[in-house]
């Protein structure tokens, strides 16, 4: 197969950007309204695709993908003019008369590389940010969620300005060829290994990047926690989308004195949510493909099965699984699990928790369940993560004004709401200096006083 050549496509979008068409408030608002209409008018198409790719039920599909994106477009529409307004900056007396401000200029042509676990949210949410910033973009959905990718490719040109936006389908050859082009911004969601390839390609042209990765997000259950609530919220956060969520609890550190009670509550919460036979639950998803199924089932031997463990390769089903007696050196503790397996490890004190977390790469999320707010504050102040939550987990990306993104190994850059607008604009400092006063002291020849 010949290598695709996307130079003409990128040039077309760059010429359109340079025409100035994308800079106006009206154009941005029109595109945001069109994207919102797409999510509303064609919701059934997206629901069907998400069920095909991930067996995602309609309620979860609306919460994290379909209605979520319509709501996010609405949020941007409501705040766009405010975000676009220049920021006034104080003027040093020696420069008077003058006015100083920061204006937010569009970057240009962006490349958005989506991922498969939330194939709408994590592909089109960056597009909302790009539109808000006044940019054009090429969207590359994940080939691992082919039904959703096909719907995006079919519908997006029907609703959005085709001079500004394109969708490219394909796999590694297409992504590699896209990365060879010169971009003004690259947004990538996925794993660390591919992120390094993306960043290497971006470095050739000093292209700015946002990398949304993942990592092993820890959840701490302290002795003071409301164990029933903690178990219910961890159950939802861990096993929604069959655990294939970048912000999901990856492992639990529970204090020994409440470990037994917590595990009992956790088992009850799982059974209540998905039934005694979760394979029959209409609310429980499937592993995206057999490659990931095989990877995950190999991890089941990393500890003692406390609950779950059933699996069916033909159905790509793995039950919500809790492992205990897990060694920190075991395979399940080495990389992000990204599936429905939850290791639960016991700890003695807060210091042990902090040391355990800090000995590992910075995670995307960090969650503390504790009614003792001093303990929660101590853990947050002594660790690093992209985002965090106290007495909840996983759901922080749904908050439109909260900056979402990783740190260190879990990514770089933030988006959603105004943070996405800022990611797709250049904060350009501008000095407007009057000519009424022009003192000689500024110019040579200088005279020593």
How far is 147 from 127, CA to CA, in rounded Å?
Answer: 19
Conformational region of residue 187, where left means phi above 0, alpha means psi within -120 to 50, and beta covers everything else = beta
Gap between the Cα atoms of 156 and 171, Å rounded = 19
Strand pairing class (387-390; 185-189): unpaired
Structure tokens belonging to residue 68: 């979520």
Whose CA is closest to 112, among 193, 31, 27, 210?
Answer: 210
| Beta partners for residue 188, in sequence order | 113, 211
Look up 246 and say whether it is catalytic: yes
- The answer to whether 202 and 180 have CB atoms below 8 angstroms apart is no
Measured CA to CA, the distance from residue 70 to residue 64 in angstroms comes to: 11
- Spot the catalytic one: 174, 180, 212, 436: 212
Per the CB < 8 A criterion, the answer to whether 307 and 344 are in contact is: no
Could you tell me which of 336, 286, 338 has the C-alpha nearest to residue 311? 286
- Asked, as a colleague might, if the bond just before 423 is cis with ω within 30 of 0, I would say no
- Distance, CA of 51 to CA of 100 (rounded, Å): 52
Please state, in angstroms and rounded to a whole number, the distance separating the CA atoms of residues 280 and 288. Answer: 17
Q: How far apart are the C-alpha atoms of 99 and 165, rounded to whole Å?
A: 37
Measured between alpha carbons, how far is residue 389 from residues 112, 315, 412, 428 in Å? Answer: 28, 34, 19, 33
Active-site annotation holder among 246, 346, 393, 418: 246
Q: In this structure, is the dihedral angle defined by the CA atoms of residues 169, 173, 177 and 178, taken in order, positive or negative?
A: positive
The β-bridge relationship of strands 218-221 and 209-212 is: unpaired
Instruction: Assess contact for 438 and 423: CB atoms under 8 A.
Output: no
For helices 43-54 and 25-41, angle between their N-to-C axes, nearest 10 degrees: 60
Helix (H) or strand (E) segment spanning residue 417: helix 417-423
Residues 312 and 332: their CA atoms lie apart, in Å, by 20
Using an 8 Å Cβ cutoff, are 144 and 116 in contact?
A: yes
DSSP string computed for 158-175? HHS-TTTEEE---SHHHH
CA distance 447 to 272: 84
Please indicate whether residue 393 is annotated as part of the active site. no
Active site residues: 212, 246
């Amino acid at each position: 197969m010949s290598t695709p050549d996307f130079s003409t496509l990128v040039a077309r979008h760059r010429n359109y950007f340079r025409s100035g068409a994308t800079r106006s408030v009206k154009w941005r608002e029109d595109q945001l309204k069109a994207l919102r209409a797409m999510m509303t008018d064609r919701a059934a198409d997206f629901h069907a695709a998400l069920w095909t790719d991930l067996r995602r039920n309609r309620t979860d599909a609306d919460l994290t993908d379909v209605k979520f994106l319509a709501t996010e477009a609405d949020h941007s529409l409501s705040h766009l003019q405010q975000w676009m307004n220049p920021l006034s900056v104080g003027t040093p007396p020696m420069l008077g008369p003058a006015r100083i401000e920061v204006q937010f200029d569009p970057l240009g042509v962006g490349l958005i590389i989506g991922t498969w676990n939330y194939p709408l949210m994590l592909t089109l949410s960056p597009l909302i940010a790009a539109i808000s910033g006044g940019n054009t973009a090429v969207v590359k959905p994940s080939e691992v969620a082919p039904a959703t990718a096909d719907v995006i490719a079919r519908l997006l040109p029907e609703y959005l300005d085709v001079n500004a936006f394109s969708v490219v389908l394909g796999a590694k050859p297409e992504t590699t060829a896209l990365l060879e082009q010169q971009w003004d911004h690259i947004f990538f969601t996925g794993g660390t290994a591919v992120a390094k390839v993306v960043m290497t390609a971006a470095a050739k042209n000093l292209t700015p990047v946002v990398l949304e990765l993942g990592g092993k997000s820890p959840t701490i259950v302290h002795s003071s926690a409301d164990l029933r609530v903690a178990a219910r919220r961890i159950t939802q956060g861990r096993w929604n989308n069959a655990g294939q969520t970048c912000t999901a609890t990856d492992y639990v550190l529970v204090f020994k004195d409440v470990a037994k009670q917590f595990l009992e509550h956790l088992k009850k919460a799982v059974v209540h949510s998905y039934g005694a036979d979760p394979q029959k639950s209409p609310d429980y998803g499937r592993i995206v493909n057999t490659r990931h199924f095989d990877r995950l089932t190999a991890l089941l031997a990393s500890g003692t099965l406390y609950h779950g463990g059933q699996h069916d390769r033909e159905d790509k089903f793995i039950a919500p699984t809790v492992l205990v007696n897990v060694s920190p050196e075991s395979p399940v503790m080495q990389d992000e699990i990204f599936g429905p397996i939850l290791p639960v490890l016991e700890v003695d004190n807060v210091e042990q928790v902090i040391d355990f977390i800090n000995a590992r790469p910075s995670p995307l999320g960090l969650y503390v369940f504790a009614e003792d707010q001093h303990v929660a504050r101590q853990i947050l102040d002594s660790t690093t993560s992209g985002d965090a939550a106290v007495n909840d987990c996983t759901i922080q990306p749904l908050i439109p004004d909260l900056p979402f993104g990783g740190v260190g190994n879990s990514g770089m850059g933030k988006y959603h709401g105004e943070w996405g607008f800022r990611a797709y604009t250049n904060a350009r400092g501008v000095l407007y200096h009057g000519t009424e006063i022009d003192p000689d002291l500024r110019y040579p020849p200088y005279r020593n006083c």
